[in-house]
Amino acid sequence: MKISNYNFSGKKALVRVDFNVPLNDAFEITDDTRIRAVLPTIEKITKDGGSAILMSHFGRPKGGPEDKYSLKHLLKHLSSLLGQELQFANDCIGEEAKAKSAALKPGEVLLLENTRFYKEEEKGDKVFAKKLAALGTVYVNDAFGTAHRAHASTTIVADFFDADHKLFGYLMDAEVENADKVLNSAEHPFTAIIGGAKVSDKILIIENLLPKLDNLIIGGGMAYTFIKAAGGEIGNSLVEAEKLDLAKELVEKCKKHGVELYLPSDSVVADKFDAQANTALSNSDSIEAGWMGLDIGPKAIAEYKKVILASKTILWNGPMGVFEMEKFQEGTKSIALTVAEATKNGAFSLIGGGDSVAAINKFGLDEQVSFVSTGGGAMLEYFEGKELPGIKAIRNS
Ligand code: AMP
């Protein structure tokens, strides 16, 4: 069942969205990307002549209502984005939610209060899920960011709808479609660019991708564990001492699968982890004691550029350095620009994982890559080859 072919006329669509957006102290939304991402789904429902009942988690309340985690803070902004007044229920189940859902007219939208005000949400409680399900006549999951959680509103609720009455929203559809394109039908050469702080977070994704890849480019703090494992001197750079053997194993696995592995030949090094630190350039395998690699260097950038520009499929997860600090952003910025250039030349590029998405946005390049995933943990797990419960609940029915 595809949302593009579905007719919501006369239906009450219970829509799981991810409205877990950042707020400032005045309860203003500082980044509304997640809200904008689900507008097409809501608009499709209302334009078809259906009504939408929106449910989401918000923050990490400790098992009961807390004003700072109330979704009511989003109402004004949401109304202005949708161009219509929204209704609000002070609870996601119970009499008020029931009455307001029942009274919804075609074209109207109701926002339910934070699902995580009930501990049953994260427990995936069936009784709670059934109460949510009773509010709608069709279930739409458009919350890719929480698809890796078997929570009541993301997964269990789907059990109460038959196959003709549960479907993905447009965002979820696009996420799954683009991820599948990379995982199952990547054009070659296929290059993965993996960065970020720790190799331990990225082992599973690397292992799952190896049989499919032509090139694996490593950057960020995790590169130094590989460099040390190969006998390099890395000074004070980030290292996971207990992962040295694993790094060696991954190098062997790359060879076995015929994957070309690229580690940064040089680094921007600093005398402390600080935006104002003194900096210098060094070969990555001979970093002086007291210094640490905080970005890939110009030689590495030039090498990586060549590989990226020759690729037809590019998956990027994790920054090349401490891009939050200006002195160490050049590597990440150059790679972002190169991915954009490769995309312009016809490559398919998918960017995913919180920090690489933050980087691509920071450099204003989000429109110049093929797809930017909204799901951090969910995207990682999908690329690790796991079947996400929120996806399974709809797909396998
Ligand atoms: P991750 O969440 O694992 O993708 O890691 C992202 C974080 O890694 C960012 O906050 C970066 O500042 C940090 N990072 C990237 N490169 C380095 C490095 N060479 N040393 C220390 N931290 C790094």
pLDDT tens digits, 125-169: 999 999 999 999 999 999 999 999 999 999 999 999 999 999 999
E strands, the chain, are 12-16, 51-55, 87-89, 109-112, 138-141, 166-168, 190-194, 215-218, 233-234, 260-262, 266-270, 279-283, 286-287, 292-296, 313-317, 348-351, 371-372
Q: Check residue 125 and give its pLDDT.
A: 98
Fold match between 3-173 and 186-383?
Answer: yes
- State residue 397's pLDDT score: 61
Q: Is the CB of 198 under 6 A from ligand 1?
A: yes
Q: What is the pLDDT of residue 374?
A: 85
Which tens digit of pLDDT belongs to each residue from 174-186? Answer: 999 999 999 999 9
Of 215, 212, 191, 233, nearest to 343 by C-alpha is 191
Buried b (16+ CB within 10 A) or exposed e, 130-152: ebbbebbbbbbbbbbbbbbbbbb
The reply to whether ligand 1 has any atom less than 6 angstroms from the CB of 293 is yes
Of all atoms in ligand 1, which is nearest to the CA of residue 195?
A: 4
How many A from CA of 386 to the centre of ligand 1?
24
Please tell me which residue in 11, 12, 16, 34 is annotated as part of the active site.
34
Residue 44, pLDDT above cutoff 90: yes
Tell me the CA end-to-end span of the chain in Å, nearest whole number: 11
- Is the pLDDT at 305 greater than 80? The verdict is yes
CA of 274 to the centre of ligand 1 (A): 13
CATH class of 3-173: alpha beta
324 lines ligand 1 (CB under 6 A): yes
C-alpha 4/C-alpha 291 separation (Å) is 55
**What count of Cα atoms within 13 Å lies in the side-chain half-sphere of residue 57?**
22
CB atoms within 10 A of CB 286: 12
DSSP label at 23?
B
pLDDT at residue 358 in the model: 86
- Ordered by start, the domain boundaries in the chain are 3-173, 186-383
The reply to whether 258 belongs to the active site is no
Cβ atoms < 10 Å from Cβ of 164: 10
61 lines ligand 1 (CB under 6 A): no
Ligand 1 pocket member 240 (CB < 6 A): no
Residue 87, helix vs strand vs coil? strand
For residue 219, the model assigns a pLDDT of: 97
What is the assigned CATH class of domain 186-383? alpha beta
Dihedral sign for Cα atoms in the order 116, 120, 125, 128: negative
Please report the atom of ligand 1 found closest to the CA of residue 322.
12
pLDDT in tens, 337-396: 999 999 999 999 999 986 888 899 889 999 999 999 988 889 999 999 999 999 999 987
CA of 216 to the centre of ligand 1 (A): 18
pLDDT by residue (tens digit) across 205-224? 999 999 999 999 999 999 99
Q: What is the mean pLDDT of residues 312-318?
A: 97
Tell me whether residue 195 is one of the annotated catalytic residues. Answer: no
pLDDT band with cut points at 50, 70 and 90 for residue 45: very high
Asked if residue 91 lies in contact with residue 114, where contact means CB atoms within 8 angstroms, the answer is no
Cα(196) to centroid(ligand 1), Å: 4
Marked catalytic residue, from 354, 375, 376, 390: 354
5 pLDDT above the threshold of 90: yes
Please state, in angstroms and rounded to a whole number, the distance separating the CA atoms of residues 83 and 206.
43
Mean pLDDT in residue range 308-315: 98
Give residue 357's pLDDT. Answer: 86
Q: Hey, what are 203's tokens? A: 């082992």
Cross-sheet strand order for the sheet of 313-317: 260-262, 215-218, 190-194, 313-317, 348-351, 371-372
**Is the CB of 181 within 6 Å of ligand 1?**
no
Cβ(358) – ligand 1 distance below 6 Å: no
Question: Does 322 sit in the ligand 1 pocket, CB within 6 Å?
Answer: yes
pLDDT digits over 228-240, tens only?
Answer: 999 999 999 999 9
CB 328 within 8 A of CB 268: yes
Task: Map tokens 């991810």 to a residue.
Answer: 18
Q: What is the DSSP letter of 388?
A: P
390: annotated active-site residue: no
Which one of the listed residues 377, 386, 392, 395 is annotated catalytic? 377
The answer, yes or no, to whether residue 267 has pLDDT greater than 80, is yes
198 is catalytic: yes
| Residue 88: pLDDT band with limits 50, 70, 90 | very high
The 10s digit of each residue's pLDDT in 25-42 is 999 998 888 899 999 999
For ligand 1, atom 18: residue with the closest CA: 221
Q: Which residue's alpha carbon is nearest to atom 4 within ligand 1?
A: 196
Q: What are phi and psi of 270, to 5 degrees?
A: -135, 155
β-strand 313-317 against 260-262: which pairing, if any? unpaired
**124's tokens:** 């995936």
